[in-house]
Structure 1
Amino acid sequence: MSKDNVTFRLDSEKRAALDAIAAGLDRNLTYILNEAISLYLEIHQWQLEEIRQGIAEAEAEEFASNDEVEAMFEKLTHAN
């Protein structure tokens, strides 16, 4: 896997927090930033895929019936 350098500005407080995390985990800042970016990408890629699936279902007119919605509402509002 190739690696690229990226330069960006970061608030001093965020940098200090990242440095503290790195020290607490006995890792370097590069490791912490790569982990943070990986988690960010995972979350947002999941969210985008869910949106795409929702749009595809809507375009295919795959909606829950009123009875299904009401049953789910009952289940969720009357759960123990």
Structure 2
Amino acid sequence: MSSVLTIRVPEEVHQNLGSLAEMTGRSRSWLAMEAIKEYLEREQWQVSQIHEAIAEADAGDFASQEEVAAVFGKWTSRAG
């Protein structure tokens, strides 16, 4: 099942979408849908991670000094 979504975009975006559609043999609608899907997946993941981190912080679930030093040491030892 699908729904219709109408959006206004700057003329340059509309032209770029049309050009890409011609180059790829895809429709403008398909390209726009894929772009929206990818954006939503990325943003939903990021926002969920932020909410999870806030919940952990609110619960006092922080890394110990030893854990921080171990990670810091792991990455700084590779630089040299």
- TM-score bin, normalised by smaller chain: 0.7 to 0.9
Q: Percent identity?
A: 39
Determine the structure 1 residue equivalent to 2:31: 32
Number of aligned residues = 79
Structure 1 residues without counterparts, runs of 5 or longer: none
1:67 aligns with 2:66: yes
Q: TM-score, with normalisation over the residues of structure 1?
A: 0.88
Structure 2 residues without counterparts, runs of 5 or longer: none
Give the distance between the partners of 2:42 and 2:5, measured in 1 at CA.
Answer: 21
**Poorly superposed stretches of 4+, deviation over 3 Å:** none
Determine the structure 1 residue equivalent to 2:4: 5
Aligned-residue Cα RMSD (Å) equals: 1.3
Q: TM-score, with normalisation over the residues of structure 2?
A: 0.88
Give the secondary structure class of the aligned counterpart of 1:71: helix
Deviations 1:30-75, CA, capped at 9 Å, x for gaps: 1001000000100000011101110111122111001111111111
